[in-house]
Structure 1
Amino acid sequence: MQSLRDQDALIPRPRGNLPQVCGAALAAVTIGSMVCLSPERLFGWVAMVILILTLGPLLHGLCMLVEELLYHSNTRYRGQGLLSHVLPACGLRGKTLLAAGLAGIVLHLAGYPLPHKGQCWKLLFLASVLYTLFKSLGLVGPSEVEVSDICEGRKMNVAHGLAWSFYLGYLQLVLPRLEDSIASFCATHQASGPSWGRGSRKLLILIPLNANISHNLEEEDDNIRFYDNLQNNEIDRAGVRGRVYKHSAYRVLDDHGKAHECVVEYATPLLTLYRMSQERSAGFGEPERRQQVLLFYRTLQDILEHSLECRNRYKLILLSDEHEDDPRFLSKAILRHLQQQEKEEFCLTPPPQQEMPYPLAGTSTASTSAPIINHPEPMSREPTLMFSLPQPLREPVEDTDYYH
C-alpha cells in the first residue's frame, strides 16, 4: 500500500536556480584561467564573445519581425505599438541591444584580440549569420527542460488552466457550503450521525495518475457503497438560474466490516486530460498526460492552501497506478487518509482537571502536608487578556539623620 511519504515523492518540485549557479561558476573559472594565461587581451575576447552571443539573436529577431509585420500585425497585435509589443515579442529587447552596444564599445577601446581587425569583423558576422540560420532551421533551440521551465514559470501548462478552472468554477463555490450540507445530511439520516468523524467532514478529491476515471466507485471496489446524495446547492451561474451542485456520500468498509461515511469524488478535469491523450490531433501522449496530472495536483494543492474559503474543507488523494491489481486499493487509500486526518485533528491535551483547594484553618496536619497540584490550563483554551490593577505609588519617607 502506497504510503503518504511515497505520494509526496511523486510530486515534482518547482525548478530552482541551480543551472544559473553552475553557469556563473563555470564562467568564473574560465575567466580566471584566461587571466592567468593571457591577461593582456582578456577584455577584447570577452567583448567579442558577447557580441557574437547578442548579434545572433538580434538578427534572428529581425527575421521574425518581418513575418510579424507583414502577416500578423493586425490579427495578433490588434494595431498595438511597434516598440511596446512587437519588438519584445520578437526578442528585440532593450537589454540585448544595450549589451551589444556596450560590448562593441569595450571591443573598440580594448583592442581587437585577433591580429587583424578585419578578421574580428568576419568572425562576428559569420557567427551571427550562421546562428540565425541554425535557429531558423530548429538546430539551435530550447530543450524540453527549458520549455517545461518556461511553461511552469509562466503558468502556461494545460494542468494550470484545468486546476484554476476546477477551483474557480466548482470548489470555490461548493466547499464553503460543505459543512452545512453535511450537517443537514446528518440531521435527516439519524443513524449515520455518529459515524461521521472529523476527517469525514471534508471533500475527498481523488486524483489518479493515469487520469482514468470511473463514474461508479462501486465498480472499482466492493468495499465502497453508495449511500445517498447530499442536499443540492443551487447557485445562479453564467446566466443559469439555480444551477445545481451536488455531492454523493459513500460508505467505505474496513477489514472488520465497519462502515466509514465520507463525501468522495474524482477530480473531473482529469477526464479532459484522459480524452486529450486519446485524441491523435491533440499531440498529447501518455508521458505528457502523467506529467500534467502531477502538475495539476501540485497547482491545485497550492491554490487551495492559499484559499481562505476552502481551507480545512478538502483532502487531495493522489492514486498511484502501481496497485491496480489490488481490488481493495481504492478503499484502502480512502481509509488511510481518513485515519490520518483523525490522528492529526485529535486533541493531544488531556481535559483540564479541577485544582485542589488550599487547606483551610483547622484542618489536620496530614491534610495540610499533601502537596498542592496546580494543573496547567489546556492548550485549546481561548486566549485571554491578563492585566493587574494599578497600585498607588509609595509616598517618600524622610529618613535623613540631622543629629549625625
Structure 2
Amino acid sequence: MQHLRDQDAIIPLPRGNLPKVCSVVLAVITTVALGVMSSERLFGWAALAILTMTFGPLLHGLCLLSEEMLHHLNTRHRCRVLHVASACGLWGKTLLAAVVAGLVLYLTRHTLPHKNQHWELLFLTPVVYTLLKSLGILGPSEVEVSDICEGRKMNVAHGLAWSFYLGYLQLVLPRLEDAIAKFRATHLSSIHPHQTPLWSRGSKKLLILIPLDSNIPDKLEDEDNNIYFYDNLPNNEMNRAGIRGRVYKHSVYRVHDEKGKVYDCAMEYATPLLTLYRMSQERSAGFGEPERRQQVLLFYRTLQDILDQSLECRNRYRLILLTDECKDDPHSLSKTILRHLEQQEKEEFCLHPPLNQELVQPFQNATSGNKEWHRAEPMSREPTLMISLEKPQPLREPTENTDSWFRET
C-alpha cells in the first residue's frame, strides 16, 4: 500500500496556526527585551506602534470608501452605508485597536521622549502605508490569498465540490445499493455458466475517479484495455429543477487483473473536473496548469471532507486520485483501481462470525475423566432464560466466633 500512502502525501492539508504562534513568540521576546531596557516607556511605545500600524489600514479604508460610495453603493451594497464601512475595513477589530491604542498613548504620553517628534511619525507612517498599499507593494502574498480563499471557501474547487455533492452524489448514493441489487437480479440469468459470477469480486461502492491532470476521456476502456464496459445500472428518475423524470445513471465495468480474475464495480470520473480542464484552456479564465492542479487537489480534499460528514453517503463511495506518475504504463488505471479494491477488502471485516465457529477449551483437567468437559462448544449461541423453582433463601447474617478465638488463645 506504499502507492496509496504516497497519494495521501500530495494532498494539501489545511493551513495551521504556526504563523500566529511565531508572531506571538516574536512579540513576547521583543516586549520582554524592551521592558528590561526601559519598563516605564514600554506601554507608551507599544501604544505608539499599534496606533501607527492601525492608522494605515484605516486611512487606506477611507480611500476605498470613496470608490464604493460614489460608484457601487447601490449595485454592490444595496445602499447600506454601514455595510460599506465594514467592507472597507473601517469597522471592527482595526478600529477598536486604534481607539484603545490612542487612549493608552494619551495616558502615557509623558513617558515618551521628544513628545513633538513622535506625532510627526504617527501621521507620516499611515500616509506612506496607504501609498504603498494602493500601488500593490504591500499587497497580500500568494500564501495569504490562498489561505483567505481556503478559509472562506472561495476557491473554484470548493464550489465544484459542493455542487457535485448536492446536485448529484447526495441524490444517487443512497439509492446505489438498491440499484445494484436490481441489476444483479435481472442479469443473473444472462451470465454464462463458464464466466465469472456477477459481482463475486469487486466493490459495491461507487468508485469516483479524480485524475490530477483533470483530462477525462469519454470511455474508460480507451484508457486501459483491461477495463470493459458491461452495462448500466437501472436508471434513477426524479423531478429536479423543473425537469420531470430527470435520469441519473451509473455504468458497471469489469476490471481484469494480471491473473485473469474479474472485478465488478460501478465506476465513473468526477465530471466537475471537466470544468477545470476547460477553464485552463480558455485565456479569459486566467486559469493556468499550476492553478488547475492545485484546484484538483483542493477539490479532492473538499469532497472527501464533505462526504465524510454525510450520513446519506457514508460507506457508499470511494475516491480514487489518479496521479500522472505511471502515464507510460498502458494498464496504470486498472492497476490503481485494483490496489484500491485490495485495500478496501483489507479494511472491511466480518462483524458476525459463523455460527459453527468453535471455541476450544484452553485448559484440560488431567485428573478428571469427564470427556464432556473437553468438548468444543460453539462460540455464539442463542441466549436462554434459566428459571429456578426453588424458594428464595434469606441472606446469611454474619456470625461471631470470638468465643472460639478466646478458647484457642
> How much does 1:194 deviate?
3.5
Query: Are 1:149 and 2:147 counterparts?
Result: yes
1:63 aligned partner: 63
SS of corresponding position for 2:313:
coil
Separation in structure 1 between the aligned mates of residue 248 and residue 87 of structure 2, nearest angstrom: 42
Separation in structure 1 between the aligned mates of residue 384 and residue 98 of structure 2, nearest angstrom: 65
Separation in structure 2 between the aligned mates of residue 302 and residue 150 of structure 1, nearest angstrom: 18
1:46 aligned partner: 46
Q: Which amino acid aligns with 2:86?
A: P
Separation in structure 2 between the aligned mates of residue 52 and residue 392 of structure 1, nearest angstrom: 87
Q: 1:1-400 counterparts in 2 under 5 A? A: 3-80=3-80, 82-83=81-82, 85-111=83-109, 115-190=113-188, 191=191, 194-197=197-200, 199-347=202-350, 351-352=354-355, 353=357, 366-368=369-371, 370-371=373-374, 376-377=379-380, 394=394
Which one is further off, 281-290 or 369-378? Answer: 369-378
> Is the alpha carbon distance of 1:385 and 1:27 closer, same or farther for their aligned partners in structure 2, counting shifts above 3 Å?
farther
SS of corresponding position for 1:117:
coil
Separation in structure 2 between the aligned mates of residue 387 and residue 338 of structure 1, nearest angstrom: 47
Separation in structure 1 between the aligned mates of residue 275 and residue 398 of structure 2, nearest angstrom: 91
Deviations 1:17-65 (A, max 9, x none): 0100000000000111111222231111111100111101010111111
State the identity as a percent: 66
Which runs of 5 or more residues in structure 1 are unaligned? 358-364
Q: Which amino acid aligns with 1:219?
A: D
Q: Which amino acid aligns with 1:13?
A: L
Computed over aligned residues only, the root mean square deviation of the Cα atoms, in angstroms, reads 3.0
SS of corresponding position for 1:324:
coil
> Is the alpha carbon distance of 1:374 and 1:101 closer, same or farther for their aligned partners in structure 2, counting shifts above 3 Å?
same
Question: Does the 8 Å CA contact 2:56/2:125 hold for their aligned counterparts?
Answer: yes
Question: Does the 8 Å CA contact 1:206/1:317 hold for their aligned counterparts?
Answer: yes
Q: When the two structures are superposed, what TM-score results if normalisation uses the length of structure 2? A: 0.88
Separation in structure 2 between the aligned mates of residue 238 and residue 301 of structure 1, nearest angstrom: 26
SS of corresponding position for 1:3:
helix
> Is the alpha carbon distance of 1:22 and 1:356 closer, same or farther for their aligned partners in structure 2, counting shifts above 3 Å?
closer
2:404 aligned partner: none
Separation in structure 1 between the aligned mates of residue 34 and residue 103 of structure 2, nearest angstrom: 21
- Number of aligned residue pairs: 390
Separation in structure 1 between the aligned mates of residue 50 and residue 387 of structure 2, nearest angstrom: 71
Question: Does the 8 Å CA contact 1:221/1:329 hold for their aligned counterparts?
Answer: yes
> Is the alpha carbon distance of 1:104 and 1:198 closer, same or farther for their aligned partners in structure 2, counting shifts above 3 Å?
farther
Separation in structure 1 between the aligned mates of residue 311 and residue 337 of structure 2, nearest angstrom: 25
Separation in structure 2 between the aligned mates of residue 147 and residue 121 of structure 1, nearest angstrom: 34
Question: Does the 8 Å CA contact 1:198/1:342 hold for their aligned counterparts?
Answer: no
Question: Does the 8 Å CA contact 1:185/1:231 hold for their aligned counterparts?
Answer: yes
> How much does 1:329 deviate?
0.2
Q: When the two structures are superposed, what TM-score results if normalisation uses the length of structure 1? A: 0.89
Q: Which amino acid aligns with 2:337?
A: I
SS of corresponding position for 2:307:
helix
> How much does 1:369 deviate?
7.6
Q: Which amino acid aligns with 1:136?
A: S
Separation in structure 2 between the aligned mates of residue 388 and residue 274 of structure 1, nearest angstrom: 73
Q: Which amino acid aligns with 2:66?
A: V
SS of corresponding position for 2:234:
coil
SS of corresponding position for 2:203:
helix
Deviations 1:58-91 (A, max 9, x none): 10111111111111110001122x22x1111000
> How much does 1:366 deviate?
3.7
Deviations 1:255-275 (A, max 9, x none): 012221111100000000000
Separation in structure 1 between the aligned mates of residue 85 and residue 36 of structure 2, nearest angstrom: 41
Separation in structure 2 between the aligned mates of residue 297 and residue 222 of structure 1, nearest angstrom: 26
> Is the alpha carbon distance of 1:356 and 1:376 closer, same or farther for their aligned partners in structure 2, counting shifts above 3 Å?
closer
SS of corresponding position for 1:394:
coil
> How much does 1:107 deviate?
1.4
